[in-house]
Each structure stands twice: as structure tokens, then as C-alpha cells.
Amino acid sequence: MLNAIMMKSCLGMIKVSKFIVFFLLFADVVILGYILIGNNNISVLNPHGLIALKERNLIIIATLFSLAAVIPVFIMTFLFAWKYRENNSKAKYDPDWDHDTKLELTWWAAPFVIILILAVITWKSTHELDPYKSINAGTKPITIQVVALQWKWLFIYPEQNIATVNFIQFPDRTPINFELTADAPMNSFWIPQLGGQMYAMAGMGSHLHLIADAPGEFAGSAAEISGRGFSGMKFVARASSQADFNAWVQSVKESQNKLGLPKYNKLAAPSENNPVALYSSVEEGLYNKIIMKFMAPSGGNMHMQGTNHQ
């Protein structure tokens, strides 16, 4: 009696559950599609720079290839679950069937081929989109040195001899050579609309090459936890025309603030949610000095942030 009730309710539930599942899936796909395709807020899928564009295209390609494997899996899952349910007397029941060489070969070979193609794509794209690789766009690149501090970003323009905190501006359609280091725990420098991120680490210099395809303002963030205030460690990256950029550099050069060594040491002390700051001149070779202080015993006028006295 109990078994009969259970069977009936299982039957009923299967019918209902199949319906629920398919409806949910369909609804999900529709909603997702709407959100993803229509929404400009989705930075990674709405690139504003060549690097981000290529990375987005890779996402689409990888998704399509994966779906080639995944869609058959979903179809088979629901098809088999439905067709071979216990009370479907029409389906053939073959309890001793446990092997078919052709099928085995197929489902080892098909994913193998897909992965092989993806692997080739991976090799090529990883080399093409190597963040250390400079971008050739015909225009003269600009260098910006990035120092991750607790909990703000210091940007040094060595060619212009200016520095900023939590704000950068650069000409559009110009390759930017970022050189990154930190005077703080490991951090990650990320402008999603322009391209992928790169770690900024104390005692070493990493590189990132990005380019903006048109003027605009892009959000930048810190993508690796570095302590209490790291979620406030945001910055704005603005691409403007060359003329606007030159004007901006001029305006920064009129700032009263100068980033000498003592000022830098004060800046490097922990602080949160720093407002934008502009410096009209920078201590000579500051970026290298920041790296070097972790590489050799400190002599000279930089005080070590890294010694074990608490």
C-alpha cells in the first residue's frame, strides 16, 4: 500500500518536476540573455579597449565550445531520466548492458578534440595577450608606474614627472605601459573595461599593457585583498584626446603638492578611501627606490616599512 502511494507520488512528482525544471531553465536563459546582451553595465562583456575586446571574444569562443559538449549532456540527462523511469513500460530494460566500445571511444574522443582545439587557442591567445607584451598601435606609448599602497593607488608618470593618487588620465588610442609594484601586501590592478588585471607585489616590478579605443571614464579597482580598507581602493581611469591630456598634465603641474620622500613615507602609511590627489613633481627614481628597499638592507633615507617591529 505504502509502495503504491509512493509510486504514484513519484510519478506525479516526476511529471511536475520535469515541467518545473524545463520552465526554470527556459526562464533562466531568457533572463540571462536579456541581462547579458542588453546591459552596458557588464564591463567585461562591453570592452573599451583592444585587450578587453580580444579577451571578451575569447570568452564567447570558449563558451561556444564548452556548450558543444554540455548541451548533449543536458539533453541526454533529461531524456534518459524521462524515458527510462521505472514505470515507463515502453522503454527497454537491459540490466546487463554496461559497455559499448564505440560509445566509449566517442565520449573520450569528442571532448579530447574539443579540448585540443581549445588548447591550441589557449596557447596562441596566451602569447598574443601576454600582459608583458607591448601594444603596437602606431602612437608613442605612455608609461605609468603604479604603486599599490595601503589602501590607495599611487600613480607616477616618470616622463611627465607628475604623480596622482586614485586617478589616472591618458590619451586614447595610445598604448599604456603600466609598471607595477607595491609597498603593501600583494594587490591586483584591474580596469575591467580596458583589459585583464596584473598583480602588484612588493620588491618586484610587473608589467601590464592596455589601450583605450576611445575617450571615456573607466572604473578601476583592487582585486586582491590587502587588508582592512581594500574595498575602498578604487580609482578612475580616464581616456581623453591627446590635447585634453596635455592640458591635464599642465594643470597637475600647477598643484601645490610635491611628492618628495618624506611626503611619500607619510602617504604610504595606512589610510582608507583616499580622495584624488595630484602632485606636481616626484622624487627622482621613486618607483625604483620603492622596489629596492625590499631588495637590500636599507641604507639612505628611505625608512623600511618591512621590519619586524610591532
Q: For residue 52, what are the contacts with CB-CB under 8 A and spacing of at least 6?
A: 44, 192, 193, 194, 195, 196
Instruction: Give CA separation, 217 vs 5, 169, 170, in Å.
Output: 64, 9, 11
**Long-range interactions of 282-288: CB distance < 8 A, separation 24+:** 282/156, 282/157, 282/158, 282/161, 282/162, 282/163, 282/258, 283/259, 286/156, 286/163, 286/259, 286/261, 287/145, 287/147, 287/156, 287/158, 287/179, 287/181, 287/205
108/256 with CB nearer another protein: 108
In angstroms, give the least distance from the CB of 230 to another protein: 8
In angstroms, give the least distance from the CB of 232 to another protein: 7
Under the phi-then-psi rule, with left for phi > 0, alpha for psi from -120 to 50, and beta for the rest, what region is 279?
beta
175/196 with CB nearer another protein: 196
In angstroms, give the least distance from the CB of 160 to another protein: 26
Using DSSP, state whether 250 is helix, strand or coil: helix
50/252 with CB nearer another protein: 50
CA–CA distance, 51 with 307 (Å, rounded to integer)? 39
Instruction: Give CA separation, 163 vs 38, 119, 156, 247, in Å.
Output: 38, 42, 4, 15
In angstroms, give the least distance from the CB of 226 to another protein: 6
CA–CA distance, 146 with 184 (Å, rounded to integer)? 12
9/301 with CB nearer another protein: 9
In angstroms, give the least distance from the CB of 57 to another protein: 10
Cell digits of residue 98: 554496461
In angstroms, give the least distance from the CB of 200 to another protein: 10
41/256 with CB nearer another protein: 41
174/226 with CB nearer another protein: 226
95/243 with CB nearer another protein: 95
In angstroms, give the least distance from the CB of 209 to another protein: 12
